Each structure stands twice: as structure tokens, then as C-alpha cells.
Amino acid sequence: MQYAEERSFIPYQLSHGLLADMRDEGFPSELWCWSNDFLQLKNNATHFGYVYDGSITLEHASGSFKLSNGMYFSAPGETTIHGNGHGIVASRLGYDGFFHIGGPVEQRGRLKYIDGCTDSLLIPPVMMGDACLNLLYFPPGIKQTQHTHPSVRVGMVIRGRGACITRSGAIPLVAGGVFVIPTEGIHSFLTEDSDMAVVAYHPDSDFGPTHELHPMINRTIVDGLSANQISEIRTK
């Protein structure tokens, strides 16, 4: 199910199975959905998921876990989902991330984003450049500046309603809607009398810890200096 690359915003129905094959992207990914059915996810990826409604059991080498609506996860390697309800999974192929369960998501983001919107990093990059999962919040009355992203985006509207504005026109968005924004696809989001919340997967980032800069080394003090300033300690 390869998406059409010439389009800047591709909506999908919340149907079971593989929705979008993005293996030819710079950061190969796949978009999956479960719908009251069993979903088996591959071994050679880290899977970023969100439970839209109902409840599921997530089976992983780390154990068996019950998740309900509003919860999210990342799971490296073979993963099985079964139970009732619906949700999405964006699989970052060839990436070995952390196992993580969180949620339910908050009502709005904690970080400033463009044009009065907000964002929270639900699952941050393990290291600089790694994949991440975000919560985007759009208050009522938002008219975003048209923009692009340097890599593909996968999103799901989890609450409220709005629209995505592209060069081809306005695409209505309602809760339960799933979409892909291809690399460099120009778009913006619009809300009127309702707010809107979106869970968004990014396959890469320009943010995250590095070997030289992370809280442990930054806050280790040697003779009054942070250990990240002392090359002899850093390189041993």
C-alpha cells in the first residue's frame, strides 16, 4: 500500500492492517492500524503506538501489559497486540529504541509550538536523531502558517476537529482520522469553534542526548567543572 508521493497530505480510514508503506523514505517506516483484531508486528523495528479507544493487551519480550484508551507505547522488536478497540502503530524500521508505556495523554502540550499551538514529547529520542512520538494541541481559532517538514510525518486526530490546508484545498479532520504527510509536503492546520489534539510520529529528530551532552555527565562536577568540559574524563 504505497502512498502517492506527489500529495502533501494523505488521509486514511481506521481499518485493520498495513495502511502505508514508507520503506523508501530516508527513515524507513510503516503505518499500521488495529481494529478489534490481532496485530503481529515485525522484529526489525521499534513500534510507536497509540490506543484510540477500547483496551488491548500488548505482548512483548518485556512482558504482557494491559493498555486502555489514551495510552501510548514504544516497543522494540517482535510485538503482538490483541483486544478490543482501535489504534495506530508507526514502525521505525531498523531502529532499536527503548520499551516504554505511558499515558493517558494530557489535554494539551507543555511546549510552545508555532502560531499558538503546543506540543509534548510523549516518547523523546533516546539519542540525538532518533525517532519520537508527540502530542500536538491546536486551540480553537488556529490558522497555522503554511510549512513543511524534512521527513515524513504520521498523525492521528485523537480529539476535536479541524482541517488541513494544502495547495489542493482543505481536508476535514475529525477524531479517529489518520494521515501521512510526505517529506516536504506543504500544509497547515486550521481550527474554528473546536480544539484539536493529534498524536504525531516523527521518524527522526535534531534533538536528544549525545555522548558529550546528557544529564548524567552534565551534572557530574569535578573540581568545580562539569565533566562534559573535561576532555580527559570524557574520552577515557
Q: What is the structure's pLDDT at 2?
A: 37
With respect to residue 166, please indicate whether it lies within any of the assigned structural domains.
Answer: yes
Same domain, 60 and 129: no
Q: How many domains does the chain have?
A: 2
Q: Give the pLDDT confidence of 72-86 residue by residue, as tens digits.
A: 999 999 999 999 999
Is residue 218 pLDDT above 60, yes or no? yes
- Contact by Cβ (8 Å): 149, 155: no
CATH of the domain at 184: 2.60.120.10
Same domain, 60 and 139: no
Is residue 137 pLDDT above 70, yes or no? yes
Q: Give the pLDDT confidence of 22-73 residue by residue, as tens digits.
A: 998 889 999 999 999 999 999 999 999 999 999 999 999 999 999 999 999 9
With respect to residue 222, please indicate whether it lies within any of the assigned structural domains.
Answer: no
- Specify the higher pLDDT residue, 235 or 172: 172
CA 112 to chain centre: 17
- Contact by Cβ (8 Å): 182, 3: yes
Which residue shows C-alpha cell 548524567?
A: 216
